[in-house]
Amino acid sequence: MADASGESQKLQWSWVGITFVMYVVFYLLPILVAGEVFGNFKIGMKEAVYIGAWSFGGAIILSAISAFLSKGITILEPAIAGVGLVVLWFIAYRIFIARYSEASILLDVPYLISIMVAIFLLSLLGAWYGERAQKMWRSNPPQ
Protein backbone atom coordinates (compact mmCIF):
# COMPACT_ATOMS: atom_id res chain seq x y z
CA MET A 1 0.00 0.00 0.00
CA ALA A 2 2.83 2.41 0.84
CA ASP A 3 4.50 1.56 -2.46
CA ALA A 4 1.43 2.61 -4.43
CA SER A 5 1.29 6.03 -2.78
CA GLY A 6 5.05 6.49 -3.21
CA GLU A 7 4.74 5.52 -6.86
CA SER A 8 2.06 8.16 -7.51
CA GLN A 9 4.21 10.84 -5.88
CA LYS A 10 7.08 10.41 -8.36
CA LEU A 11 7.48 12.85 -11.19
CA GLN A 12 6.85 11.32 -14.61
CA TRP A 13 9.64 12.89 -16.67
CA SER A 14 8.34 11.31 -19.85
CA TRP A 15 5.19 13.41 -19.52
CA VAL A 16 7.27 16.51 -18.92
CA GLY A 17 8.93 15.82 -22.28
CA ILE A 18 5.67 14.96 -24.05
CA THR A 19 4.01 18.11 -22.71
CA PHE A 20 7.04 20.20 -23.65
CA VAL A 21 6.81 18.96 -27.26
CA MET A 22 3.07 19.66 -27.24
CA TYR A 23 3.77 23.19 -26.02
CA VAL A 24 6.37 23.81 -28.72
CA VAL A 25 4.21 22.49 -31.56
CA PHE A 26 0.71 23.56 -30.51
CA TYR A 27 1.43 26.61 -28.32
CA LEU A 28 4.63 28.36 -29.33
CA LEU A 29 4.57 27.70 -33.07
CA PRO A 30 1.05 29.15 -33.60
CA ILE A 31 2.02 32.25 -31.59
CA LEU A 32 5.15 32.71 -33.69
CA VAL A 33 3.23 32.25 -36.94
CA ALA A 34 0.49 34.67 -35.85
CA GLY A 35 3.12 37.19 -34.79
CA GLU A 36 4.80 36.80 -38.17
CA VAL A 37 8.15 36.16 -36.53
CA PHE A 38 9.17 34.31 -39.68
CA GLY A 39 8.08 37.25 -41.83
CA ASN A 40 7.99 41.00 -41.41
CA PHE A 41 6.88 41.32 -37.73
CA LYS A 42 3.64 43.12 -38.59
CA ILE A 43 1.02 42.37 -35.98
CA GLY A 44 -2.50 43.61 -36.61
CA MET A 45 -5.42 43.75 -34.22
CA LYS A 46 -6.65 40.22 -35.04
CA GLU A 47 -3.20 38.74 -34.54
CA ALA A 48 -2.73 40.58 -31.26
CA VAL A 49 -6.07 39.32 -29.92
CA TYR A 50 -5.23 35.76 -31.00
CA ILE A 51 -1.78 35.90 -29.41
CA GLY A 52 -3.17 37.29 -26.17
CA ALA A 53 -5.99 34.77 -25.96
CA TRP A 54 -3.84 31.78 -26.90
CA SER A 55 -1.07 32.84 -24.51
CA PHE A 56 -3.43 32.27 -21.60
CA GLY A 57 -5.92 29.75 -22.97
CA GLY A 58 -3.34 27.59 -24.70
CA ALA A 59 -1.40 27.01 -21.50
CA ILE A 60 -4.55 25.81 -19.77
CA ILE A 61 -5.88 23.74 -22.68
CA LEU A 62 -2.64 21.96 -23.56
CA SER A 63 -1.81 21.11 -19.95
CA ALA A 64 -5.36 19.80 -19.47
CA ILE A 65 -4.99 17.59 -22.55
CA SER A 66 -1.65 16.32 -21.32
CA ALA A 67 -2.99 15.52 -17.86
CA PHE A 68 -6.06 13.84 -19.35
CA LEU A 69 -4.03 11.62 -21.68
CA SER A 70 -1.44 10.58 -19.09
CA LYS A 71 -1.68 7.61 -16.80
CA GLY A 72 -1.60 8.43 -13.14
CA ILE A 73 -1.69 11.88 -11.62
CA THR A 74 0.33 14.39 -13.63
CA ILE A 75 -0.25 17.88 -12.33
CA LEU A 76 3.29 19.16 -11.88
CA GLU A 77 4.58 17.74 -15.17
CA PRO A 78 2.76 20.21 -17.47
CA ALA A 79 3.77 23.09 -15.19
CA ILE A 80 7.44 22.08 -15.37
CA ALA A 81 7.18 21.77 -19.15
CA GLY A 82 5.61 25.24 -19.29
CA VAL A 83 8.49 26.75 -17.34
CA GLY A 84 10.92 24.97 -19.68
CA LEU A 85 9.09 26.47 -22.65
CA VAL A 86 9.40 29.97 -21.19
CA VAL A 87 13.14 29.45 -20.68
CA LEU A 88 13.49 28.19 -24.28
CA TRP A 89 11.53 31.18 -25.57
CA PHE A 90 13.66 33.60 -23.57
CA ILE A 91 16.89 32.12 -24.93
CA ALA A 92 15.56 32.14 -28.49
CA TYR A 93 14.30 35.69 -28.08
CA ARG A 94 17.68 36.89 -26.82
CA ILE A 95 19.54 35.13 -29.63
CA PHE A 96 17.32 35.94 -32.60
CA ILE A 97 15.42 39.14 -31.81
CA ALA A 98 16.75 41.13 -28.87
CA ARG A 99 20.35 41.08 -30.06
CA TYR A 100 19.39 43.84 -32.48
CA SER A 101 18.19 46.09 -29.68
CA GLU A 102 20.17 47.78 -26.98
CA ALA A 103 18.08 46.25 -24.17
CA SER A 104 19.96 44.52 -21.40
CA ILE A 105 19.27 40.98 -20.26
CA LEU A 106 18.93 42.28 -16.72
CA LEU A 107 15.95 44.39 -17.77
CA ASP A 108 14.21 41.26 -19.08
CA VAL A 109 14.66 39.16 -15.93
CA PRO A 110 11.63 40.54 -14.00
CA TYR A 111 9.43 39.90 -17.06
CA LEU A 112 10.90 36.43 -17.44
CA ILE A 113 10.15 35.55 -13.83
CA SER A 114 6.61 36.90 -13.99
CA ILE A 115 5.89 35.00 -17.21
CA MET A 116 7.36 31.82 -15.71
CA VAL A 117 5.12 32.15 -12.66
CA ALA A 118 2.05 32.88 -14.80
CA ILE A 119 2.64 29.93 -17.13
CA PHE A 120 3.39 27.66 -14.16
CA LEU A 121 0.11 28.61 -12.46
CA LEU A 122 -1.94 28.41 -15.66
CA SER A 123 -0.45 25.01 -16.40
CA LEU A 124 -1.24 23.81 -12.88
CA LEU A 125 -4.83 24.94 -13.35
CA GLY A 126 -5.10 23.21 -16.71
CA ALA A 127 -3.54 20.01 -15.39
CA TRP A 128 -5.97 20.00 -12.50
CA TYR A 129 -8.86 20.34 -14.99
CA GLY A 130 -7.38 17.51 -17.05
CA GLU A 131 -7.13 15.23 -14.03
CA ARG A 132 -10.72 16.05 -13.04
CA ALA A 133 -11.88 15.29 -16.58
CA GLN A 134 -9.91 12.05 -16.51
CA LYS A 135 -11.72 10.94 -13.36
CA MET A 136 -15.13 11.94 -14.73
CA TRP A 137 -14.94 10.79 -18.36
CA ARG A 138 -12.66 7.77 -18.45
CA SER A 139 -14.35 4.44 -17.90
CA ASN A 140 -11.40 3.15 -15.87
CA PRO A 141 -9.48 6.11 -14.44
CA PRO A 142 -5.96 5.41 -13.17
CA GLN A 143 -5.59 4.66 -9.48
Instruction: Give the dihedral sign, CA 58/63/68/71.
Output: positive
Q: What's the CA gap between 89 and 59, in Å, rounded?
A: 14
Which amino acid, 90? F
**Predicted local distance difference test score (pLDDT) of residue 71:** 87
**Predicted local distance difference test score (pLDDT) of residue 84:** 96
pLDDT tens for the chain, 143 residues long, are 344 444 456 889 999 999 999 999 999 989 888 877 766 767 788 888 998 999 999 999 999 999 999 988 899 999 999 999 999 988 887 777 666 666 677 777 888 899 999 999 999 999 999 999 998 887 765 55
